[in-house]
Amino acid sequence: MKIVQICGYYPPHLGGIEHCVKNMTVELVARGHEVTVLTSDIGNPKAGMVEGAHGRLQERYLRAVEFAHTPFIPSLPLALFKIPRDHVQHIHLSHVYSEVCTFFVAKLRRLPYVAHFHMDVDVSGRFGFLFKIYKKTLLGPVIRRASTVIALSDEQRQLVIDRYHAKPEHVVVIPNGVASPFFSGRTRTFSQPIKLLYVGRFALQKNLPRLINAMPLLTVPVELHLVGDGEKRPEVEVLTKDLELKNVTLHGKLGGQELVDAYHSGDVFVIPSDREGMPLALVEASAAGLPIVASDVQGLREFVGANGVLVHNPSPETFAQTLNELLRDPSKLQHMSAASREWAEQYAWSELIKRIETVYKQVGDRR
């Protein structure tokens, strides 16, 4: 098949959605499909077209400007108009501009598209009121016009149906997947100091200050390793300095084998977020055999069971209490580690990509 992935950001830009799109694209190309990615050049110094594997992959980084955490891509409407009619369009819902462009161009051309609902993004920032208006007016039509909506969990599927009034028969559940290099068969011993690991954006919804403020309250020797970058990094650096934390290391953005090694060298994966979709980092950490400690919030509670523990009423105090109890029990950590690896096996991209192919075929049939 011939497929177009449309997303506001894409690697080397940092983020779970970006890497989800990248992993999906790699798997589709490996299975013989032709894939074009339309994205912004934000985070990539080179705009234009980059040829990929055997000519079956085209990653087009279109020139863009960023405003209110949103990439505005002037040439995107024209690029969408030029897409041949036999291509399946797959829009990843995360940024207003690319969603609106896809919606109106597809409507004018009377073409179907697949909408990928990664999470119900919260309103934030000084221009958050504009996004709130968008969610109340245009996001619903964008979702309802999609031939198929992909949600990451049953809870998200119900949210899309209830809040945005999508037809139940048009919403399918396909979770995020994990690439094979992240899987590890190593048995962990959990010797002190325990290495706590966070991987992800330094963004408002991730609430890293919650985790940083929990560190002085821990009574078990630990090291905290933070992998990632983002607009909240200066706040994290200042808070770490103010609390005089010597056991916190900021590694910055990692990718490829360096990222795999970070997972494999960690002991426990920690997610202090206020809200999530289905974080790719959670699946990657589970594949590496890391027990999960996560906020009991939407987008996390659906995926944490025997593989970890949820922190109810998340705060620095409740995170510290949960970690203090868990880290003193190596046998429980080993049980969670084994459960994490077993749980992650169902999310191997090699299997999930077949379900996405089925969605694409159904869209082609409807066309």
pLDDT at 125: 52
pLDDT at 292: 97
* Cβ atoms within 10 Å, residue 285: 29
Q: Token match 């403020």: residue?
A: 213
Residue 192 near residue 337, CB atoms below 8 Å:
no
Handedness of CA 191, 337, 301, 224 (dihedral sign): positive
Report which residue type is found at 76.
L
Q: Which is it for strands 2-6 and 222-227: parallel, antiparallel or unpaired?
A: unpaired
pLDDT at 85: 93
pLDDT at 187: 79
pLDDT at 21: 92
pLDDT at 121: 63
Number of H helices, E strands in the chain: 13, 16
List, for residues 12-42, the tens digit of each pLDDT value.
887 778 888 998 998 999 899 999 999 999 9
Token pair of 164 as six digits = 């945005």
Which residues are within 8 A (CB) of 297 and not within 5 positions of it... i.e. 6 or more apart?
Answer: 273, 274, 275, 276, 314
pLDDT at 70: 85
pLDDT at 130: 60
Count CA within 13 A, CB hemisphere, residue 288.
25
pLDDT at 180: 83
The Cα–Cα gap between 132 and 161 comes to: 19
List, for residues 36-79, the tens digit of each pLDDT value.
999 999 987 665 555 555 578 999 999 999 887 789 999 999 99
Residue 271 near residue 292, CB atoms below 8 Å:
yes
pLDDT at 67: 82
Quick check: helix, strand or coil at residue 255? coil
Q: Which domains does the chain have, with CATH numbers?
A: 2-177+348-366 (3.40.50.2000), 180-347 (3.40.50.2000)
pLDDT at 196: 98
- pLDDT < 70 positions in the chain: 45-54, 121-134, 366-367
The Cα–Cα gap between 300 and 20 comes to: 17
Count CA within 13 A, CB hemisphere, residue 180.
4
